[in-house]
Amino acid sequence: MQLYDALIIGTGQAGPSLAAKLAAAGRKVAIVERNLFGGTCVNTGCIPTKTLVASAYAAHLARGIHYFKSGVQTRGSQNYDHTTTEQLHGMQLYLEKARQDLQDSLALDPKPMASYGVLMRTNMQLGDQAAVRTLLDAALKLDAHALSPRRAYMRSIQTRFGGSLQQMIDFVQSSGAAGLTPGQLAVLQQFVDDERKWLEARSGLPDEGAVASN
Ligand SMILES: Cc1cc2nc3c(=O)[nH]c(=O)nc-3n(C[C@H](O)[C@H](O)[C@H](O)COP(=O)(O)OP(=O)(O)OC[C@H]3O[C@@H](n4cnc5c(N)ncnc54)[C@H](O)[C@@H]3O)c2cc1C
């Protein structure tokens, strides 16, 4: 019969390190495991679930982006009058799928800013401006300095989508007050500059007074 100084039951969090310490101190140690060496955390708990959740986030985000792009491509770039019902219906189908994947992805990452950005653009394409604003607020609560949702919001308040130049200018100002870096603000300011050019090209730029009073 073998004799031991210590018998450790289970190889979870404490067992292996206790066994190592006792062995290092010159004790003869037996360790007994009835199932998987390493216990719950390394085999079926913390580590596998964290890896799976991270992978699931990436998968949902990637598929959501794919559906979003497919929807935009299916619609095409012509204006509404030159877009067929089939194109619009096809876009709708893709965007609904994108919305589902991106919405699901939000629960799989502590700061899913890329998901927020594409989800906002998806809702914008679906004409749900209220959802865009709600998502922006939710994203900024998690990360007040996030750029991706702010960029998506800037797109959604362009004149062609029912917003205005003044709204865009105001949003850049409020982003500055929120502490965005000069580089981030330059990205947002570019939307304002492009919008001015777009309006000018259509001779629709209101004079400064009209913009300020909007
Ligand atoms: C899905 C999931 C996710 C988790 N995520 C996290 C996390 O992110 N962060 C965190 O801190 N915690 C997390 N946990 C909890 C963490 O896994 C446990 O708190 C930790 O594993 C407990 O360690 P333990 O050593 O007490 O038990 P266990 O790891 O369960 O180890 C006990 C070991 O003893 C063995 N055993 C029991 N009885 C006998 C016996 N009579 N004879 C021989 N062997 C025996 C078992 O087979 C097992 O291997 C998670 C748990 C789960 C289920």
46 Cβ inside 6 Å of ligand 1: yes
CA of 10 to the centre of ligand 1 (A): 9
**What is the model's pTM?**
0.77
Q: Say yes or no to pLDDT of 214 above 60.
A: no
Q: Does any domain span residue 50?
A: no
CA of 105 to the centre of ligand 1 (A): 28
Q: Does any domain span residue 170?
A: no
Domain assignment of residue 29, given as a range = 6-41
pLDDT digits (tens, 9 = 90+) for 66-106: 999 999 999 998 888 899 999 999 999 999 999 999 999 99
DSSP 61-111: HHHHHHHHHHHHHHH-SS-GGGS-HHHHHHHHHHHHHHHHHHHHHGGGSSS
User: Hey, how many other C-beta atoms are within 10 angstroms of the C-beta on 182?
Assistant: 8
- Angle of helix 113-125 relative to helix 46-75, nearest 10 degrees, comes to 30
Non-local CB neighbours of 119 within 8 Å, separated by 6+ positions? 64, 98, 99, 102, 103, 106, 135
125 near 91, Cβ under 8 Å? yes
Q: Does any domain span residue 11?
A: yes
Q: Does any domain span residue 25?
A: yes
CA of 43 to the centre of ligand 1 (A): 9
pLDDT digits (tens, 9 = 90+) for 126-143: 999 999 999 999 999 999
32 Cβ inside 6 Å of ligand 1: yes
Q: Say yes or no to pLDDT of 211 above 50.
A: no
Total domains, the chain: 1
Token pair belonging to 70: 């497919």
